[in-house]
C-alpha cells in the first residue's frame, strides 16, 4: 500500500475526526451558498474575476514590476525569492541585521509552504502564530488541515486538552474560554515582538498596496506593532487596479466564510509615515516564486495560479469531506491542492493526488474564479500515465477493453443487446450482488471499487409496466 492509501484508511477510521469534519464543512457550504444567493450578478463577478486573473497572469512580469515600483515609492523594500529556502534565508538576514529575537506571524499558507517556522526557529528566533487556528496547530506540532480553518480537525475537547497540557489552563469545554485564554497569551507576544510576518491576499500593482483579509485582528496587530513588517507574497497574487479589489473581496469572503465581508481588511502601503502614531519603521515585501513559474509554462494549466485561496473547493469536495486535509500529506489539500502541488513540486510522492478525485465537478462549480479543476486533474493524470508508459511497448488489455466498452456504449442498440445478455449470465459472476472478476486489469480496477450487478429489470421496462403514471 502506498502512503496516500494508508492515510485514507486511517482518516476514515478516525471517529473523532469523522464526528466533526463533515458537519463543519457542511456548515461552511451552507453559509457560502446563502451569501452567494444574495448576489444577483454572482456569475458576472466570477467571470470578471477570472478574466482579470488570466489577464494579469499573461502580463505577470509587467504587473510585478509595477507593484515593486510603487511599493518602493512608499518607502518599502521589495525582495525576490526563487525558492522557499531563499525566502527563509532573506528573512533570517533581515532579522539578524536588526537584532530581532521575537517574531509574531499572522496566517500565511505561503509560510506553511516554505516551512517558515522551522527555518526561523533553526535560525534562533522565537516564532509565535497568532491566528487562533494556526496557534492551535503550532502548539500541537501539526500542520493545518484546511486553507481557511487550519485547526478544522480539532474538536473543542482536543483544544481543551492541548491548552491544559501546554498553557496550564483549567479543563473546560467552553469555546469562549479557550479563545479568551489564547487572547491573553498572545497579547503578550504582540507587545514584545520585534518582527511581524504576514501573508498577502492581493497585491495591487497600481498603488503598491498589499491586502490582508482577516477576522480576528491578529494580522492588524502583527503588521502594526512590531518595528519591522515582512509580507510574503506568491508572485501570482498581484492584481492590476484598486477597483478590481471590490470584486475580489466580494468573491473571496463570500466563498471562504459566507461573510459579506470579513471583520477586517488591511490595506497596507509601506511603512509608517511621518506624523503617524504607530506602525512598523520598515516594510519588506518578499515576492516568492517557489515553483510557480513552472506552472506558468503551460497556457491551459496556468489558470491554476488564478486561485485566491478561499477554500470553497475543499468545503464542497466529497472526498475532502470524508478525509479532511491531513490525509493528503501536503500543505495545499483537497481539489486545489491536487492540481497545485503536483505542478509546483513534481515529485513522485504527490503523483497520485490528481487521481484522488471522483471528478464530480463540484469544485469547478463553486470556484469563485472558475478554475477548471476537473479538466486540469484529467490533464495531470494523463501526464502521469504518459510518463509511466514511456518506453513500455506491450499489449495493453486495458486499452482494448476501453475500445470495446466505447463501441458498446456509443449505440443504444448495442448497449441494449449487451445488457440483456449480461442480465442473463450475470448470476454466475456475482458475489453478494457484486461483480468480482479475478481477471486483470479488471481485478486491479475493482480493488477500490464496487460494481453492483444489473437490476433484474431494465429501468425502461420497469417504467412502462409499473411506473407509467410517474
Partner 1 sequence: MSREVILSRLRDFQNREASEVLPEVVPEFPDFDDPLDTFKRRAEKAGTVVLDGQSDERFAAAMRRVLEEAGSEHLYWEKTAIFEKHRIPFELSSRSQDSGEPGVLVSEHAEQGFQLPVQTEIQSLDQVDVPGVAVSVASAETGIAETGTLVVSSANSGSRGLSVLPPIHVILLSPEDVLMNHREFFQSVDLGQYESARLLVTGPSRTADIEKTLIIGVHGPRKLFAILR
Check whether the bond before 441 is cis (ω within 30° of 0): yes
Residue 413 CB, shortest distance to partner 1, in Å, is 44
Residue 349 CB, shortest distance to partner 1, in Å, is 25
When the beta carbons of 181 and 357 are compared against partner 1, the nearer one is: 181
When the beta carbons of 4 and 160 are compared against partner 1, the nearer one is: 160
Residue 141 CB, shortest distance to partner 1, in Å, is 17
Instruction: Locate the DSSP E strands across 1-105.
Output: 77-81, 102-105
Residue 140 CB, shortest distance to partner 1, in Å, is 13
When the beta carbons of 178 and 380 are compared against partner 1, the nearer one is: 178
Residue 116 CB, shortest distance to partner 1, in Å, is 17
Residue 111 CB, shortest distance to partner 1, in Å, is 17
Spatial contact of 267 and 201, defined as CB atoms under 8 Å apart = no
Residue 252 to residue 322: CA distance in whole angstroms:
24
CA 24 to chain centre: 16
When the beta carbons of 7 and 192 are compared against partner 1, the nearer one is: 192
Paired sense of beta strands 238-239 and 430-431, if any: unpaired
Residue 360 to residue 322: CA distance in whole angstroms:
15
Which of 63, 26, 61 shows the shortest CA–CA distance to 207?
63
When the beta carbons of 293 and 419 are compared against partner 1, the nearer one is: 293
When the beta carbons of 167 and 417 are compared against partner 1, the nearer one is: 167
When the beta carbons of 303 and 338 are compared against partner 1, the nearer one is: 303
Beta carbons within 8 Å of 284's beta carbon, 6+ residues apart:
76, 77, 78, 79, 94, 228, 229, 230, 231
Residue 296 CB, shortest distance to partner 1, in Å, is 5
Spatial contact of 247 and 48, defined as CB atoms under 8 Å apart = yes
Residue 361 CB, shortest distance to partner 1, in Å, is 23
Residue 307 to residue 313: CA distance in whole angstroms:
11
- Residue 99, sorted as left (phi over 0), alpha (psi -120 to 50) or beta, turns out to be left
Partners of 430 in beta bridges: 435
Q: How many helices (H) and strands (E) does the chain have?
A: 22, 12
**In terms of C-beta density within 10 A (0-12 exposed, 13-18 middle, 19 or more buried), how is residue 261 classed?**
middle
When the beta carbons of 254 and 381 are compared against partner 1, the nearer one is: 254
Amino acid at each position: 500500500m502506498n502512503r496516500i492509501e494508508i492515510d485514507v484508511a486511517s482518516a476514515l477510521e478516525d471517529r473523532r475526526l469523522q464526528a466533526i469534519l463533515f458537519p463543519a464543512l457542511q456548515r461552511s457550504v451552507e453559509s457560502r451558498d446563502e451569501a452567494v444567493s444574495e448576489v444577483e450578478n454572482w456569475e458576472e463577478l466570477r467571470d470578471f474575476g477570472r478574466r482579470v486573473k488570466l489577464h494579469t497572469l499573461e502580463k505577470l512580469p509587467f504587473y510585478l514590476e509595477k507593484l515593486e515600483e510603487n511599493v518602493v515609492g512608499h518607502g518599502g523594500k521589495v525582495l525576490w525569492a526563487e525558492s522557499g529556502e531563499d525566502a527563509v534565508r532573506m528573512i533570517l538576514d533581515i532579522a539578524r541585521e536588526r537584532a530581532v529575537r521575537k517574531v509574531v506571524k499572522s496566517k500565511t499558507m505561503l509560510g506553511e509552504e516554505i516551512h517558515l517556522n522551522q527555518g526561523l526557529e533553526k535560525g534562533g528566533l522565537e516564532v509565535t502564530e497568532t491566528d487562533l487556528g494556526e496557534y492551535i496547530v503550532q502548539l500541537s506540532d501539526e500542520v493545518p488541515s484546511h486553507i481557511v480553518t487550519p485547526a478544522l480537525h480539532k474538536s473543542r475537547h482536543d483544544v481543551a486538552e492541548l491548552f491544559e497540557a501546554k498553557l496550564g489552563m483549567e479543563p473546560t469545554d467552553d469555546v469562549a474560554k479557550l479563545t479568551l485564554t489564547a487572547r491573553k497569551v498572545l497579547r503578550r507576544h504582540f507587545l514584545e515582538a520585534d518582527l511581524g510576518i504576514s501573508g498577502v491576499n492581493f497585491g495591487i500593482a497600481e498603488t503598491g498596496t498589499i491586502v490582508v483579509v482577516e477576522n480576528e485582528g491578529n494580522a492588524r496587530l502583527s503588521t502594526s506593532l512590531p518595528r519591522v513588517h515582512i509580507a510574503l507574497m506568491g508572485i501570482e497574487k498581484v492584481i492590476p487596479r484598486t477597483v478590481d479589489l471590490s470584486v475580489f473581496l466580494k468573491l473571496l469572503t463570500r466563498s471562504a466564510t459566507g461573510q459579506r465581508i470579513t471583520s477586517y481588511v488591511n490595506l497596507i502601503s509601506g511603512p509608517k509615515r511621518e506624523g503617524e502614531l504607530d506602525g512598523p519603521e520598515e516594510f519588506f515585501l518578499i515576492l516568492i516564486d517557489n515553483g510557480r513559474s513552472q506552472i506558468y509554462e503551460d497556457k491551459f494549466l496556468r489558470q491554476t495560479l488564478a486561485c485566491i485561496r478561499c477554500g470553497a473547493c475543499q468545503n464542497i469536495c466529497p472526498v475532502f469531506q470524508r478525509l479532511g486535509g491531513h490525509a493528503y500529506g501536503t500543505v495545499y489539500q483537497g481539489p486545489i491542492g491536487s492540481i497545485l502541488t503536483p505542478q509546483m513540486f513534481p515529485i513522485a510522492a504527490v503523483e497520485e493526488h490528481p487521481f484522488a478525485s471522483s471528478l464530480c465537478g463540484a469544485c469547478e462549480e463553486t470556484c469563485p474564479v472558475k478554475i477548471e479543476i476537473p479538466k486540469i486533474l484529467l490533464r495531470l493524470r494523463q501526464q502521469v500515465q504518459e510518463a509511466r508508459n514511456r518506453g513500455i511497448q506491450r499489449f495493453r488489455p486495458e486499452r482494448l477493453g476501453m475500445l470495446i466498452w466505447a463501441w458498446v456504449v456509443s449505440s443504444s442498440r448495442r448497449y441494449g443487446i449487451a445488457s440483456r445478455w449480461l442480465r442473463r449470465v450475470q448470476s454466475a459472476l456475482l458475489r453478494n450482488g457484486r461483480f468480482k472478476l479475478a481477471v486483470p486489469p479488471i481485478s486491479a480496477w475493482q480493488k477500490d471499487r464496487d460494481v453492483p450487478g444489473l437490476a433484474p429489470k431494465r429501468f425502461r421496462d420497469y417504467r412502462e409496466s409499473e411506473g407509467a403514471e410517474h
